[in-house]
Amino acid sequence: MNITGNTILITGGGSGIGRALAEALHAKGNTVIIAGRRESVLDEVTQANPGMASMLLDIQDKADIAAFAGEAVTRFPALNVVIHNAGIMRPESHVDLAIAEETVATNLLGPIRLTAALLPHLKAQPRASIVTVSSGLAFVPLAATPSYSATKAAIHSWSMALRHQLKDTGVEVVEIAPPYVQTELLGPQQATDPEAMPLADFTSEVMALLEAAPADGEIIVERCKPLRFAAENGNFADVFAMVNSRH
């Protein structure tokens, strides 16, 4: 993926990894549009980054996604990159149907629906990228968040299949799999947890990997490799035990 000269839409761009990537890509000379449900949060980011744009989007709402996509390509006809970053992570005790359904709608159906709405436009561009954000937990699940882990495993599988389907087009599919990062995904305490990877370090490593454009389309920072390759390395049980030792 070229990391400059694009028009990039980032869902969930108001905070955490989404904001960090938005600001890093904005600094590289891309036109960046952040999307999310909280207008005040989006406004804070765009005010801090002159030239960055924002759009409201309810990623759980099928009709809103369709309307949003139409507005996005009208306002930004050069749009050629979408980064599916919006996501939620909720602890579940055994099976919590409400949490499961909300998580699937946000983390899995949201990216699928938005890609479906934008794909005809992206395929018409000279070059385009669909970037998914999965997780190290796609490969080794966290038992305390089963639906989150499951949706991220699904995103990984979906990204692989979509990449193969689009291999003869101008649209590449890139997957970013974060490890445990200092954001507020699971609450404010995560942002300062010393066991989590500092957000700035994660962002800089991701930007370097994006620029290097790995052939397999996977952006795996060093800290995530023990999770990503647990099965291949034959130590899945040990890594699973480690991931779930505090839960």
- Catalytic annotation, residues: 148
Widest Cα–Cα separation across the chain:
50
Q: How far apart are CA 131 and CA 240, in angstroms?
A: 27
Closest Cα to residue 117, out of 84, 141, 91? 84
Q: H-type helices in the chain, by residue range?
A: 16-27, 39-48, 62-75, 97-104, 110-123, 146-165, 199-212, 225-228, 230-233, 236-243
For residue 56, list its beta bridge partners. 36
Cα gap 61→105, rounded to integer Å: 8
